[in-house]
Amino acid sequence: MRLLVTGITGFLGKNLINNLPSDCDLLAIANSKSIKKYQGFNNIKYINCNFENFTEFSDDIIKFNPETVLNLAWKGIPNFSLKNSKYNIEKTMDFFDFISEKTLCSKFISIGSCAEYFNPDGETDENYPKNPKNDFTWAKITLDKYLTKKCNEKNINYINLKLFYVYGKYQRDDSLIPYLIKTYKNKTKPEIKNPFNSHDFIYIDDVISAIWGIINNDTSEGSYNIGSGKSISIYEVNEIIRSEMKISDKIKLEKQNSQIPNIDFYANNKKIKDEINWIPKTNIIEGIKNCIT
């Protein structure tokens, strides 16, 4: 199976490579400087380009002729501004148009976000209303609509993965769990804005197993939630980390604005379970232990 991957030097991509099946013929679109920073990329094939100049290497992509494209690229995170969001929409559309016109790609996999769901509460499935809350979610929703329409026209199987709160190895240091761990290692107290908000935290290994399941199976088109199927408050996450790191000093956590209701929602994973028989295997305590060690 010929798989073309963008954004491979990011959080998801680095973990994807660690679980690469032996029968997968993978080609990455990536900057050589980023590739050389990570030893795990030593044996992968890649084209030294990015979204700005991929057309300069169009012959290489056409020759590879991917069966499946996994688009992990989203430049500038954590820059969620309108300018950066528009840039990512434009470049992703250009990339897809090239792939759909110049190759025989039959499956295009894109990464979405649970943040697209509008004011979710409790168990949330793929039919929950989507509405932009900010520039980033507007961009994700706009791109999803475009790819859905274009893939229908081109007879390409389009799959959009709605990721919930992914954590684990190679995550940005300023994300919640790495931040809390680093803060306690530095013997300082963390600052937590909304400790009583509850989210669905899903360990990276489970996300990667779902992605490979989507790639390797004859998956039906559409959106698929990928979450743990459970919510846990930020306060409880902090307490797990504190316990595992044997931090005795308990910090006082207060909600900043008592007028705003707490957030509490989690993924309904029934659709992806029924489609590829996927279920998450790592509970939050095991996942946090893996992050600490």
User: How confident is the model over 147-184, as pLDDT tens digits?
Assistant: 999 999 999 999 999 999 999 999 999 999 999 999 99
Phi, psi of 237 (to 5 degrees): -60, -45
Long-range contacts: 260-263, Cβ < 8 Å, 24+?
A: 262/194, 262/196, 262/197, 262/198, 263/194, 263/197, 263/198, 263/199
Average pLDDT rounded to a whole number, residues 217-237? 97
In angstroms, the CA 165 to CA 114 distance is: 8
| Fold that domain 166-200+229-268+282-292 belongs to in CATH | UDP-galactose 4-epimerase; domain 1 (3.90.25)
What is the residue extent of each domain of the chain?
2-164+204-226, 166-200+229-268+282-292
pLDDT for the residue numbered 31: 87
Of 45-54, 107-116, 155-164, 218-227, the range with the lowest mean pLDDT is: 45-54
**CATH top class, domain 2-164+204-226:** alpha beta
pTM: 0.95
Structure tokens at 189: 């107290």
User: How confident is the model over 229-277, as pLDDT tens digits?
Assistant: 999 999 999 999 999 999 987 777 665 566 578 999 999 999 999 999 9
pLDDT for the residue numbered 52: 78
Average pLDDT rounded to a whole number, residues 183-199? 92
How distant, in Å, are the alpha carbons of 49, 81, 175 from that of 76? 16, 9, 15
pLDDT for the residue numbered 247: 92
pLDDT for the residue numbered 258: 61
DSSP 249: P
